[in-house]
Amino acid sequence: LKPVWRLHCAAMAKPLGTPRRLLFVGDSLTYYNDLDQHVAAFAQAADAVDGKRLVVDRAVKGGAPLKTLWKKTDARKMIAHNKYDVVILQEDLPETSVKDFQKYAAMFNDHCRATDAKVVLLMTWPYKRLDWIWTEGISEEHQRAAESLGCGVAPAALAWERLEKSHPEMSPYSEDEEHPSLAGTYLAAAVVF
């Protein structure tokens, strides 16, 4: 596996290099099963940080879209003071509007650029409770935002969709059909890594 930050992707002008400090900003889709810690474990196992310690932090709040994470968490303060190499923004697009996603992703992106942190948008998955947008729409909006902002995308939703088609016996969803199962978290972490 190659870390997403070492890959060239259509929405990025150049690879991100090897980060030493990561910040995950998201809601329960990030902290359920500790997605950030799985990414850190992958990096440690692969020695992706050249034997040096990878620092992984998170600014999370249950049920919070980027708008709330911008206004009611320490995310901005953490970005300003902790010299992150990469900030991974997770929007729960079924829980918010495309307009707010674009607006607050741009605000976070500008804030990160001021500190030389690169942004990766974590594309999460749809769920039945809020069925106004599905994987195709989530993917399109994340690609549109990434192209506009010049940032990367970690397409976990696409990996989940592929898993569901190729291995229907292995659900990436937990029993609530919204949050990730352990397999879903592991797959999302592999996509981010």
CA distance 17 to 21: 12
| pLDDT at site 4 | 42
| pLDDT at site 84 | 96
- The Cα diameter of the chain in Å comes to 45
| Residue 7 amino acid letter | L
| pLDDT at site 48 | 60
Spatial contact of 75 and 25, defined as CB atoms under 8 Å apart? yes
84-124 pLDDT, tens digit per residue, is 999 999 999 989 999 999 999 999 999 999 999 999 999 99
In 3D, which of 79, 159, 82, 172 has the Cα closest to residue 119?
A: 79
> Which residue would you say has higher pLDDT here, 190 or 52?
190
141-168 pLDDT, tens digit per residue, is 999 999 999 999 999 999 999 999 999 9
Q: Which residue has the tokens 């919070």?
A: 64
| pLDDT at site 112 | 98
CA distance 6 to 15: 5
Judge whether residue 190 has pLDDT over 80: yes
27-84 pLDDT, tens digit per residue, is 999 999 999 999 999 888 877 666 677 889 999 999 999 999 999 999 999 999 999 9
| pLDDT at site 94 | 87
- For residue 98, give both structure tokens: 């495309």
**1, 11, 96, 133, 140 from 137: Cα distances, Å:** 27, 17, 13, 6, 5
Phi first, then psi: what are they for 164, rounded to 5°? -60, -35
| pLDDT at site 17 | 60
What are the start-end ranges of the E strands in 85-131?
A: 86-91, 118-123
Spatial contact of 11 and 153, defined as CB atoms under 8 Å apart? yes
Confidence of residue 11 (pLDDT cuts 50, 70, 90): very low
